[in-house]
Structure 1
């Protein structure tokens, strides 16, 4: 096993205090019986990271299929941490905020990065307002869109923030673009050990991290070659435009693409255009149609209401919904992602 997996970087700090490995394991043990779930999850992962196995077990989110348990090599997680540190130029003693649940890969990786790169890590309970009651300045933080939405006025205290877990809506992206700090959208999944690419908010193309190679398959879907993270090629269901050997534009999920009368429609791109027009949660999806094969329908969460004509003014001819459906409550994964097909009655 790589020696760095068994060690704590000498510059590492946890909530303002330095720890030897033995001291950190004692802290982890003390967390296990905490009434605060986030501490118990932290303790569990710390002990798992330093055990004799060369892997950790975790469960995928289940956004597009059934959640499944997978094993990730600790060596690969270390390599991912180093790639992130290099891409964002994060040196030892970087002041980082940890505000994500540790039972999921994004939360685990924030701790791993701090341990192996020597960061000064402040850990707060995961909440939708992670910067409330905290006036400190940070070099780096990772958040989900809801946390960012609730922290826009405070994000100027974080030099670099990465956002993952869900698509960023254009209204929020526009607010973030005005900030005097760097905010990035990331691309990744559990199998790639969080992000393998990032882009500044409102830029179009993602740039890949060090040690990654990409190409397209016959479906125009992204294929990731990341030997330091995975022994096998990672074939995704994400349709992309390949800009260069290290940049791509994400178009949408292959399993969401709607073929309407021979025209390929990407729901995610249509939803971007509608984001500023509909305040309720919504999505678009294909529905079987005798004439078109599939017709585009708009599904809105909540009680029925009338949409103004201007709602669809930014859409192309074929992007306009042929039916509008209201659903009282969307079906979600554990991490809050909408299960589109299961949300339709």
Structure 2
């Protein structure tokens, strides 16, 4: 750990390797100090070394930290240089307190996510505010249901309420494993599920197994999930804004779609040392997400994917998440990713990669294409469907869409 302390306490405390189990105590201690206004923390991953160096160079930990900053969360940097999201102690507290208010009070949290990402950090913040030491899953190179079951057993042995947070990929693996892992997961009072869109079929499987899943939507800029099961947490508001780049008539997504904007006490203070990016994303107390959503008129928000991920095929814009939902509704499919490839005739062609469900027959590409056509029409039907062993990822639960595009090469 690099404390950068001494003469200037307003420099970032860098906790390196914060995604490792042995670094959690140091990060927990610094977060405790940050919540009290005595520290500003930057958690960095353990490797690979060039990526860690790139993050540190972009976020300049040796430079004085901006006022009121308690935590700087690095973004993935998938579209260029990474940014550092600046969160205040007030935003972190507001998020954790609103979560406990929604779930029924504080309790023991099981950390099964990297503490270099906001979802993992918030497990630690909630534990601090609940005065309950978190249980940390002993990961050895990836998420394994058997290790989750062991850690869950330690958490569930404590008195009071019990919580954990997972991404859909982890939930899918636990359900596929079955046995002790599923039985343990079903004993939690709530299982927060976020980081990526959850296929409805996976959600239905989890709830049928008795798992108390609470879907979450949020990001580092909102101190983590701030919309639970489509409903904003206390103090959080959302609205749908027009986007001049897209005409609603061109969207294969239904009516009432807009760009999601969020407001409330959970919002970040901006991006570290980047006033231009801050002013572009944060305006008049609202954060513009870049995600497309719609609501049912009764205050429930449905996310249908990022605007930048829309596939423009034959003049129609297709939301990949809707195609992915149709694919994962087929029994033989566990996971799916849909992307657009350059196409001389259509502008972009819809293509898909899927991961088969181990307990079912291998996916049949023709059957999958027919399932999408029946549900969404010809325009959204993938021209090509490929079966892979695993989807490439770039963070907890986030599929690396650029790597999926590269899988097709010359198709």
| Length-normalised TM-score, structure 2 | 0.65
Residue 237 to residue 245, structure 1, CA distance change in 2 (3 Å): farther
Determine the structure 1 residue equivalent to 2:346.
292
Partner of 2:224: 194
Q: Given that residues 365 and 386 in structure 2 are in contact (C-alpha distance below 8 angstroms), is that contact kept between their aligned partners in structure 1?
A: no
Q: Give the gaps of 5 or more residues in structure 1.
A: 1-31, 200-205
In terms of mean alpha carbon deviation, does 230-239 or 272-281 score higher? 272-281
Whether contact under 8 Å (1:196, 1:208) holds in the other structure is yes
The partner residue of 1:102 within 99, 106, 115 is 115
Deviation at 1:301, TM superposition (A): 7.5
Counterpart check, 1:68 vs 2:106: no
Distance 2:203 2:231 in 1: 18
Q: Bigger CA drift: 168-177 or 250-259? A: 168-177
1:123 aligns with 2:180: no
2:236 counterpart residue number: 212
Structure 2 distance, partners of 1:322, 1:332, is 23
Asked if structure 2 preserves the Cα contact closer than 8 Å seen for 1:77 and 1:229, the reply is: no
Uncovered stretches (5+) of structure 2, i.e. residues with no partner: 1-14, 40-67, 175-180, 244-257, 270-281, 357-361
Q: 2:370 aligns with which of 300, 304, 313?
A: 313
Instruction: Provide Cα deviations, 1:88-135, integer angstroms capped at 9, x if missing partner.
Output: 1214xx233233322222121112112223346433324433123653
Shift of 1:271: 0.9
Give the structure 2 partner of residue 59 of structure 1.
74
In the alignment, the residues of structure 1 paired with residue 112 and residue 387 of structure 2 have an alpha-carbon distance, to the nearest angstrom, of 34
With over 3 angstroms needed to count, the CA separation of the structure-2 counterparts of 1:239 and 1:209, relative to structure 1, is: same
**1:115-160 CA distance string (max 9 Å, x none):** 2233464333244331236533653221223432313332221121
Q: CA RMSD in A?
A: 3.2
Aligned counterpart, 1:141: 164
Query: Do the aligned partners of 2:324 and 2:337 also contact (CA within 8 Å) in 1?
Result: yes
Name which of structure 1's ranges 131-140 and 181-190 shifts more when overlaid on structure 2.
131-140
* Cα distance, 1:82 vs structure 2: 0.8
Q: Is the contact made by 1:42 and 1:102 (CA closer than 8 Å) also made in structure 2?
A: no
Decide whether the 8 Å contact of 1:38 with 1:102 is kept in 2.
no
Query: Which structure features the higher share of helix residues?
Result: 2
SS of equivalent residue, structure 2 residue 149: coil
1:239: how far off? 0.8
Q: Name the SS for the 2:204 alignment partner.
A: helix
Deviations 1:248-296 (A, max 9, x none): 1111211111222232211111011112366485422222333323221
CA distance in 1, matches of 2:200, 2:122: 27
Q: Does the Cα contact within 8 Å between 1:217 and 1:223 map onto a contact in 2?
A: yes
Partners of 2:164 and 2:122 lie apart in 1 by 12
Secondary structure (helix, strand or coil) at the match of 1:58 reads: strand
Change (3 A) 1:258 1:228: closer
Q: Is the 8 A contact 1:141 1:161 kept in 2?
A: yes
The TM-score normalised by the length of structure 1 is 0.76
Partners of 2:327 and 2:264 in 1: CA distance: 35
Aligned residue pairs, count: 304
Question: For 1:227-242, what aligned pairs fall within 5 Å after superposition?
Answer: 227-230=265-268, 232=282, 233-242=286-295
Give, in angstroms, the shift of residue 300 of structure 1. Answer: 5.4
